[in-house]
Amino acid sequence: MPPARPPEPTTTERSDAADGIDRCGFLLAFTDQRMTDGWLYGWGLGSVAFGGASLVVPLYVVDLGGGPFVLGVLAAVAAAVGVPGALWFGRVADRTGRRRDLVLAALAASAAAIAAIPLTDGVGAVIAANAVVWFAFAAATPVLTLLAVAGVPESAWSERIADLNRFQGIGWALGLLLGTVWTVGGTRLVPPATATRTLFVPLALAAAGSCVVVVRALPADPVGADGAAAIPSGSRVRRAIRRADRFAVRGATLPGALTRTDFRGLHPRRFAARFTPALAAYFAAALLFLSGSAAFFAPLPAFLTEVGFGSGGTFALYLTNSAAAAVAFGTVGRLSADRNVVRLQVGGLVARGVLLPVVAVVGAALGASALGFAAVGAAFAAVGLTWAVIAVTAGTVVTRLSPPAIRGEALGVYAALGAFAGGIGSVVGGWLAADSYGLAFAVAGALVLAGAAVGLAVGRRVDGDAPRAAG
């Protein structure tokens, strides 16, 4: 006799089985997504190294005897290598499709450079190694953006880029926190200069650890159906960056650092042909207020060291500045969507222009006393809040002033302008501070206020075009 057929499952049993399959599928998809996104933790770990290096290198230069002008050169060189790094790596990534290898090369170069800095007492060698660190940072950033959106539906690109920004911002803040704890605790065991010098060890290990995590978790380079490298369109990526950056956490204490952007497909001649007077005026305003910010931050580590804050106090102040900016980004993003965006930005610029020289006055008057640290810390937090206002609203202003055909390219040009302004402002600030910190910070504030005045002059055009641009 043929074997008896098993009984047909009931409707309830079939439904339970389907639900089980659905749950298993969801869990597998979720697990696969977590495994795929593991490389984000690697980039966050690398950002710990970049965040700590952004301050420990200037402090180390001060320990080597470098004055404010040398710090200006250090910051200017770091800003100058950003755009070439992003352009070159972006083009190589497009041409070869080997994005994974390029990211690993950049992280490995940064780890080697950070490890090499404390092994030399030559200021020139430190400036060169620091340039390698920030070349690698600028080079890896756009390539990682492409990897974040590769193989993902375009509707999810902004969310993916926001995740990338979040990991980078958290890692940067943790790097400053590590520097604060290391230098404050280290001075109880070793001389302050030794505590600063040994901080390079955990930072180099963080950069090396990021290489290990990325090489294990970063997926293979995506390819299309024809076997060629799958390369998302530059214009579409820039649109996704623009949407994601409203709530991005940007480095508040390194204004010359290149912001996340995609330089592929930029056409200078086409951009120049559609360049409007209003956009040119706003770029002039941005050149002023970004130069002023760089003129303030470039010689700042030397000033804080001279008035007695030391490495630990300086790290704590920078952490306060970055944390205040990070907390405010989301709120500013929402305000910029509902309010007069130019007035919001001008308000932030005016406050920043006034606060920059206040830091010099309060720091010089009160020094590193408890009252002095509290007062300077409050000023630093306020400066961080103003950076959140400026960074978020700038993208909206540029977008509204730009003709639709060059809107994405305008944001790329703004990013390049920021790096250029960071270089110019750093040299000017360092040069003036070599004679007088008060003069340097006063000029920095005046440049920011001048930028506010020019920005206000084009404000009517921006807010008058807001409904059209939003569409």
Q: What percent of the chain has pLDDT over 70?
A: 73
Lowest-pLDDT choice from 88-92, 134-138, 434-438: 88-92
The DSSP-derived string for 154-191 is GGGHHHHHHHHHHHHHHHHHHHHHHHHHHHHHHTTTS-
**Tokens standing for residue 348:** 């932030």
pLDDT tens digit sequence for 192-202 = 899 999 999 99
Strands (E) in 408-470, as ranges, are: none
For residues 263 and 412, the answer to whether their CB atoms sit within 8 Å is yes
For residues 414 and 286, the answer to whether their CB atoms sit within 8 Å is yes
Please classify residue 165 by burial: count the beta carbons closer than 10 Å to its beta carbon, then call 0-12 exposed, 13-18 middle and 19+ buried: buried
Beta bridge partners of 229: 223
Q: Does position 225 have pLDDT exceeding 60, yes or no?
A: no
For residues 198 and 186, the answer to whether their CB atoms sit within 8 Å is yes
Q: Does position 112 have pLDDT exceeding 50, yes or no?
A: yes
DSSP state of 65: T
The fold adopted by the segment(s) 36-220 is: Growth Hormone; Chain: A; (1.20.1250)
- Residue with the bigger pLDDT between 65 and 397: it is 65
* Alpha carbons 322 and 251: distance in angstroms, whole number: 7
Residues recorded for the chain:
471
DSSP state of 126: H
* Alpha carbons 336 and 409: distance in angstroms, whole number: 21
For residues 430 and 69, the answer to whether their CB atoms sit within 8 Å is yes
pLDDT score at 463? 55
Q: Does position 352 have pLDDT exceeding 90, yes or no?
A: yes
State the pLDDT confidence band at 176, using cuts at 50, 70 and 90: very high
Q: Which is nearest to 46 in space by CA: 6, 126, 131, 103? A: 103
* Alpha carbons 429 and 296: distance in angstroms, whole number: 6
Residue 173: alpha-carbon gap to chain centroid: 11
pLDDT score at 169? 82
* Alpha carbons 90 and 229: distance in angstroms, whole number: 13
**Tokens standing for residue 469:** 């641009």
**CATH H superfamily, domain 267-465:** MFS general substrate transporter like domains (1.20.1250.20)
pLDDT score at 251? 54
Q: Does position 296 have pLDDT exceeding 90, yes or no?
A: yes
Residue 82: CB partners within 8 Å, gap ≥ 6?
A: 134, 135, 137, 138, 256, 257, 258, 419
CB neighbours (10 Å) of residue 390? 29
* Alpha carbons 290 and 139: distance in angstroms, whole number: 22
pLDDT tens digit sequence for 227-257 = 445 566 555 666 666 565 554 445 556 655 6
**Tokens standing for residue 363:** 């720091």
Q: Does position 276 have pLDDT exceeding 60, yes or no?
A: yes
Task: Please give the span between the terminal C-alpha atoms of the chain, in angstroms, as a whole number.
Answer: 74
Q: How far is CA 230 from CA 146, 196, 226, in A?
A: 10, 44, 9
Domain boundaries of the chain, sorted by first residue: 36-220, 267-465
**Tokens standing for residue 275:** 């360049």
Please tell me if the domain spanning 36-220 has the same topology as the one spanning 267-465: yes
pTM over 0.95: no
DSSP state of 372: H
Q: Does position 21 have pLDDT exceeding 50, yes or no?
A: no
pLDDT score at 90? 67
DSSP state of 229: B
Please give the backbone phi and psi of residue 225, each rounded to the nearest 5 degrees, phi first.
-65, -30
Strands (E) in 326-405, as ranges, are: none
Q: Which is nearest to 78 in space by CA: 124, 120, 129, 142? A: 129
Provide the 3-class DSSP secondary structure of residue 314: helix
Which residue type does 345 have?
Answer: Q
CB neighbours (10 Å) of residue 35? 11
